[in-house]
Structure 1
């Protein structure tokens, strides 16, 4: 016969599924009250052990616990994200898969000792191809070279305004180099192109760069915050830019061909090289200093956002993380939801969490399972007598 006890006492002691009474008493004596064998004999067990199981009672907090609370508050002011991620991709109703993505939770280890970046460091990218899979596959294969080796990335151990500005300049140059590399590579068809959405995390800095209609969405205390703008030809600023450069919009398509106004590749629409083109590879940037209120980032191709809002996606992922705390499963669930809503495109999702595993708010059901008690030294002695006299296996 087993005995189960879940108790929160003066020092937040939890006792669960201890097989022997002696083990229970050892934990009680060590963490809650110190009773020597001599002193224990002086206590006479009362007829009744009084235990208040009301969860609403306030516990007495000793000075040590108060100091710990102050330390935790101080740590919160110096919040540093603990990075973990998951991803999922599906061909959807299309005949061919043209999406690619990259997911690196520890960028410094991936690049090696030649690069010095603030910690933690991470890199993510979603590349939604069109006109064939060649362009997206090329960018994924050469991402490390294009984004870090072929450009001068400012290296430091501290995040400041200078680092942020230099990082943005490096990313802008990396997008331009990637675009030119697609023009020069004979394995990539001139009609093949890809959108590019990247996210870099250095310490508390989150920087998102986007060219195309993929989208990054930050969850801050359950609220969706868009970290990128969809570059569609019908978007007023994009329409104005396109028309000023001699392009036109036909039924929502750039020059009647493309559903995006920014992309890497598609050199059949950009030639001759060096001439102004309504289709550009210039990324837009958004950055955020992460705090403890920031829970996760969703990065997804347009197949997700065609059928659901940013807030819908955030709410679905947040519920999943509170239930099982698995970003990989949440990415899969988001793709399945888009399929249920009859999306017509390939599907790719990356979810980046900023808190360690199991660092979640307790659900009401979990909270109800906890009972609080306040026991005197005499009551503990009585509890010991009762346990020693029982036959707990």
Structure 2
């Protein structure tokens, strides 16, 4: 700013006009881009009305640190959350829970190319299960959520579900891979499989899972060739200040909760006590009351320290009018 007065006549420029809309847009952009999530998590599980517990889950705040890997300077720490819903026993679910995170970290492209890394890791973990437990007659669905900076990457193989609360609105970040799904049915049939009474090849209630190598005709080596796929579908989103929390649940939760209902229920509970673990416990308890007959597991990740704010729903303005016939009827009444 030296010699500003002396140079004002030489280097002066007309001021840019700033419109109110421009200021509003800049504030909105800053509201989004300046946001950095503060992560908190909670979890709860229950055997429900099943004779055996086959669900399992994992919450890791720093994936690299957990497995002794060092991040390069400037790289974001990666948090990892997962829900695994086993069938035919819990062996496959426990194996994937314990091995998948390590396989991800040990991939040469971690953490720079996470989407490729995660897809490869699902396939490799599936193959490793066959090698380690070739005679084990079990399988598992798998849903993972990885958070690094403002990025959230969800990977799903099966019918667990991830739902994001965005200012009170439910945003589904995964698809349920069930035989009744049209896209999955087309994929299955293109690979020589079939759907019988909403079961894949008449045997499984899901079209994507890890394990299940004992089922003839379901898989070829690598997990991609047969109708039962271990390859996850991915969803990558950039978190903003409007994103409140993430719910990950096994299908026993979603049997009795719609996605929006789960978000509404969770917001009310968090507004009361702001305790994520207690909220998960209450979701599981409510699912049992509603008659869910499956194992029940839920993991929640909040992106704020504060509870969700009250959301004022803008009601649409209703312009009421009266028809010409109605006006005529009123006129007749008034005139007697």
TM-score (norm. length: structure 2): 0.79
Q: Distance in 2 between matches of 1:191 and 1:312?
A: 35
Call closer, same or farther: CA 1:288–1:271 in 2, change over 3 Å.
Answer: closer
How far residue 111 of structure 1 moved from its aligned partner, in angstroms, is 3.7
Secondary structure class of the residue paired with 1:142: helix
Tell me if the contact between 2:91 and 2:136 (Cα under 8 Å) persists in the aligned partners: no
- C-alpha displacement at 1:132, in angstroms? 0.7
How has the CA–CA distance of structure 1 residues 360 and 212 changed in structure 2, closer, same or farther, with 3 Å as cutoff?
closer
1:241 to 176, 180, 187: 187
Deviations 1:92-125 (A, max 9, x none): 0000000110001233443445234744531001
1:125 is paired with a residue whose SS is strand
Partner of 2:91: 134
Higher-Rg member (1/2) = 1
Structure 2 unaligned residues grouped into runs of 5+ = 1-25, 313-336
- 1:84 and 1:105 in contact (8 A); partners too: no
Q: Distance in 1 between matches of 2:83 and 2:102?
A: 16
Tell me the residue number matched to 2:130.
183
3-state DSSP of counterpart to 2:237: strand
CA distance in structure 2 between the partners assigned to 1:153 and 1:102 by the alignment = 22
- Segments of structure 1 that go 5 or more residues without pairing to the other structure are 1-69, 156-162, 365-393
Q: Which residue of 2 aligns with 1:98?
A: 54
- How big is the shift at 1:77? 3.5
Distance 1:184 1:280, change over 3 A: same
**Per-residue deviation at 1:143?**
3.0
Contact 1:246–1:278 (CA<8 Å) still a contact in 2?
A: yes
- Cα offset for 1:253? 0.6
Partner of 2:80: 123
The runs of 4+ residues in structure 1 deviating greater than 6 Å are 70-73
User: SS where residue 208 of structure 1 aligns?
Assistant: strand
Answering whether residue 214 of structure 2 is matched by residue 268 of structure 1, we say: yes
Matched, 1:352 2:308: no
Aligned pairs for 1:21-60 (under 5 A) are: none
SS of 1:343's equivalent in the other structure is coil
**Local SS of the residue matching 1:200:** strand
Say whether residues 1:174 and 2:131 are aligned partners. no
Q: Distance in 1 between matches of 2:279 and 2:197?
A: 35
Aligned residues: 283
In the alignment, does 2:156 pair up with 1:210? Answer: yes
Separation (CA, whole Å) in 1 of partners of 2:28 and 2:195: 55
1:341 deviates by: 0.9
Cα distance in 2, alignment partners of residues 273 and 322 from structure 1:
49
Residues 187-241 of structure 1 deviation map (CA, whole Å, 9 limit, x = unaligned): x644210001000001000000000000000000000000000000110001111
Cα 1:360/1:306, change in 2 over 3 Å: closer
Q: Which residue of 1 aligns with 2:45?
A: 89
Higher relative contact order (CA 8 A, sep 6+): 1
Q: Provide the secondary structure at the position in 2 that maps to 1:102.
A: strand
Q: Displacement, 1:72?
A: 12
**Are the counterparts in 2 of residues 248 and 255 from structure 1 also a CA contact under 8 Å?**
yes
**Are 2:143 and 1:143 aligned?**
no
Question: Which residue of the partner structure matches residue 361 of structure 1?
Answer: 309
1:152 to 108, 111, 117: 108
* C-alpha contact (below 8 Å) 2:271/2:307 kept by paired residues: no
Q: Cα–Cα, structure 1 residues 172 and 363, in superposed 2: closer, same or farther, change >3 Å?
A: closer
Shift of 1:147: 2.0
Question: For residues 137 and 153 of structure 1, what CA distance do their matches in structure 2 show?
Answer: 25
